[in-house]
């Protein structure tokens, strides 16, 4: 973090999905019996995919909701993020992300195409920092997603629609304070094993 220069930015990126009805059901039942779970099997369970980046310094969130979360969608999202960063005079954008299959070379090639087509391919440098496999604790975006679910989604009624969920999430900009970001990053850095020469 101390190595970031004025025209550099570090963001943590991840995806998440939100469904229009809960996957868990809690009910009371008499001892040694099971509660009857109300279900409508004909109703399709709709979802929306969220793509989120968190600025490691300011805590500002860049959130987009998409119907799909394929490599093409991730590349378009990151291209939009890069365009906005370029408008803010950022010359180098470091993106920490997991090793999801949508984050591989195909996505990086598509992102490069998007940036070239936008005329900023040579104006902003992109660095990808891949976290180790199966290590969500190393990604600040995972903590933000958890907080997003708690603050914005956990209390919603079970009959909410995807459109209503999208409306709730569309204006989310900051969830953690600078102090919370710093404490979370300290926690993440404490988890990273030191390399022994």
Tokens 């490069």 correspond to 112
Fold of 8-23+44-191: Nucleotidyltransferase; domain 5 (3.30.420)
Q: Domain map of the chain by residue range?
A: 8-23+44-191
Sign of the four-CA dihedral 110, 89, 3, 178: negative
Tokens at 111, concatenated: 């992102």
pLDDT tens for 141-173 read 999 999 999 999 888 887 888 999 999 998 888
pLDDT tens-digit profile of 114-135?
999 999 999 999 999 999 888 8
At 31 the pLDDT is 78
Low-confidence ranges of the chain (pLDDT < 70): 1-2, 21-29, 35-44, 194-197
Would you call 49 helix, strand, or coil by DSSP?
A: strand
What pTM, to 2 d.p., does this model score?
0.83
pLDDT score at 2: 52
Burial class (CB in 10 A: 0-12, 13-18, 19+), 94: middle
Query: d(Cα 72, Cα 192) in Å, to the nearest integer?
Result: 31
Pairing of strands 125-130, 92-97: parallel
């Amino acid at each position: 973090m101390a190595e970031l220069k004025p025209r550099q930015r570090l963001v943590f990126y991840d995806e998440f999905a939100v469904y229009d009805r809960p996957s868990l059901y809690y009910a009371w039942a008499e001892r040694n019996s099971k509660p009857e779970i109300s279900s409508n099997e004909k109703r399709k369970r709709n979802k929306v995919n969220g793509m989120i980046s968190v600025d490691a310094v300011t805590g500002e969130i860049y959130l987009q909701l998409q119907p799909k979360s394929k490599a093409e969608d991730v590349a378009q999202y990151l291209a939009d993020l890069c365009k906005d960063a370029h408008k803010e005079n950022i010359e180098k954008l470091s993106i920490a992300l997991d090793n999801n299959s949508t984050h591989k070379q195909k996505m990086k090639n598509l992102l490069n195409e998007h940036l070239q087509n936008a005329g900023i391919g040579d104006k902003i440098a992109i660095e990808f920092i891949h976290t180790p496999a199966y290590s969500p604790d190393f990604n600040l975006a995972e903590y933000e997603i958890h907080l997003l679910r708690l603050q914005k989604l956990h209390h919603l009624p079970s009959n909410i629609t995807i459109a209503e969920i999208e409306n709730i999430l569309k204006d989310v900009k900051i969830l953690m304070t600078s102090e919370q970001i710093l404490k979370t990053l300290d926690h993440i850095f404490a988890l990273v094993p030191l390399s022994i020469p």
